[in-house]
Amino acid sequence: MSRPFLLEAREISFRAGEQLILDRVSLRLHEEEILTLIGPNGAGKTTLLKLLIGLATPSSGSVWRREALRVGYMPQKLHVDAALPLSAGRFLQIAERDMSRVREVAAEVGVERLLKTPLAGVSGGELQRLLLARALLRSPELLLLDEPVQGVDVAGQAELYALIREVRSRHRCAVLMISHDLHVVMASTDTVLCLNRHVCCAGRPEVVSHDPAYLQLFGRHAAEQMAVYTHHHDHAHDLQGNVIGEHRHG
């Protein structure tokens, strides 16, 4: 890819006490690129994300970010204590004082009607949308999404992924995403990076899906699943629709 890049990790390692969480990981992320991190639990995906945006410091190696890079971050979980009375609108206002802009972004992700609802009273899918809205309030050049559909029902997952695609093409930002949904990874990703403490393999999704390291990590079944979806690349929506239908009636 010839576009200039936004950030680069050079041989970063991260240790927590004795344990090596990440081992000499290198990657580059270009403008408007969609890069997806896949890998088993405990592979260090979230840690890598945090290192890339400076929420943690690598034990060795270095991270370069373009100067004044605006980052929007959607964390995996949000724990707001029930003792804190907070409406969804007030939650967004922490990032942006200007209420008219908060309304605008909330409308963009479809949570405008929730602004007066207490944060404790929103569903999993609504919370993810609110987190996405808060990330978008930063007018990000880079959007980091840590398992964005976690805690969302199957119907909501497809909608949320569609929304992320839509938002990305409108804002023309790069996306760095952690995801377990291999079919989504296939359908809408420029680059896949398969992580298991170290980089197992990286490249275009159809290349990665045939990589021996990938096959070993995810097993033949998952690999075949991914291959199937590759063939139906143009019909990602139909396929998702089918899955939803089966789920509802089954």
Binding site for other proteins (CB under 8 A): 50, 53-55, 71-73, 75, 78-81, 83-87, 90-91, 94-95, 118, 134, 138
Cβ nearer to other proteins, comparing 63 with 162: 63
Nearer to other proteins, 117 or 230 (CB): 117
List the structure tokens of 198: 């170290």
Q: Distance between CA atoms of 87 and 121, rounded to whole angstroms?
A: 9
User: Shortest Cβ distance from residue 5 to other proteins (Å)?
Assistant: 20
Q: Are 45 and 56 in contact (CB under 8 A)?
A: no
CB of 151 to other proteins, least distance (A): 16
Q: Which two tokens stand for residue 192?
A: 């896949």
* Angle at 32 (CA atoms; ends 30, 34), nearest 5 degrees: 85
For other proteins, the closer of residues 87 and 230 by Cβ is 87
Q: Match 């070993």 to its residue by tokens.
A: 216
The CB-of-85 to other proteins minimum distance in angstroms stands at 5
Pairing state between β 191-196 and 198-203: antiparallel
Shortest separation between residue 121's beta carbon and other proteins, angstroms: 12
Determine whether 246 is exposed, middle or buried from the number of CB atoms within 10 Å of its CB (0-12, 13-18, 19+).
exposed
Taking a C-beta distance cutoff of 8 angstroms, is the pair 64, 8 a contact? yes
Comparison of 87 and 225: residue with beta carbon closer to other proteins? 87
Q: Residue 72 Cβ, how far from other proteins at the closest point, in Å? A: 8
- Least separation in angstroms between CB 98 and other proteins: 14
Cβ nearer to other proteins, comparing 116 with 220: 116
> Closest CB to other proteins among 151 and 203?
151
From first CA to last CA, the distance across the chain in angstroms is 44
